[in-house]
Amino acid sequence: MNHYIDANALREQVSLPELLRRLGHQPIGKSGGELKYHSPIRNGDRTPSFTVRTDTNQWYDFGLPGGGDLISFGVTYWPTLSFYQVLKKIQEICDLPESKLQYAERPREPRPRKAEKVQSYELFSVKPLGSNPLLEEYLKTRRVWEAAQDKLSEVELLSLSRDIYGADLKCNFKFGIYETQSI
């Protein structure tokens, strides 16, 4: 037997006016579908500024301002309790059997999978440095042209959108690894 409380079942089983009545708070007035109370959350409320819509089981406190449903009221009313303790407290105050509030596994729709990144380029050619004037100029502006002569090769990749030219370490080619710096 699990000891989890289904918050949705609790929302369906408990009306907020009933919880407030059991906590000792009586409505001061009624206007349309709203019950008006002195705020049970704030001390010293002289005018009814706390309303509960009976049709939606929603509350609003004009003095905070803030509002919400049954669970958010419990979290606001008992700020030192954990979420589970708030659910348990509402269950105990409203004298609900645990069997009515047990979390039942519901079949869930599988989450959509994230799109996988498909390689969008293909290795076209590998040449010695000096074949591409743009790449040569780039390496010279970075002041690595001389050091790169025996360590890098020019790489041309064909892409779906554009051709890519870059330099890569010579040793990577024999392992099929390409970590190209494009320009």
Assign residue 2 a region: left if phi > 0, alpha if psi is -120 to 50, beta otherwise? Answer: beta
For residue 174, pLDDT over 50 is answered with no
The domain 7-100: what is its CATH number? 3.90.580.10
According to DSSP, the β-strands at 29-31 and 163-169 are: unpaired
Task: Give pLDDT, residue 80.
Answer: 95
Question: Which pLDDT score is estimated for 175?
Answer: 45
Domain ranges of the chain: 7-100, 121-182
Q: What is the pLDDT of residues 43-62, one digit of tens each?
A: 888 899 999 999 999 999 99
Least confident of 24-28, 60-64, 69-73, 146-150: 146-150
Average pLDDT (143-172) is 70
Please name the helix (run of DSSP H) or strand (run of DSSP E) that holds residue 154, with its range, or none. Answer: strand 152-159
User: Does residue 96 carry a pLDDT above 70?
Assistant: yes
How many Cβ atoms sit within 10 Å of the Cβ of residue 6?
16
DSSP 170: G
Contact yes or no for 60/66 (Cβ under 8 A): yes
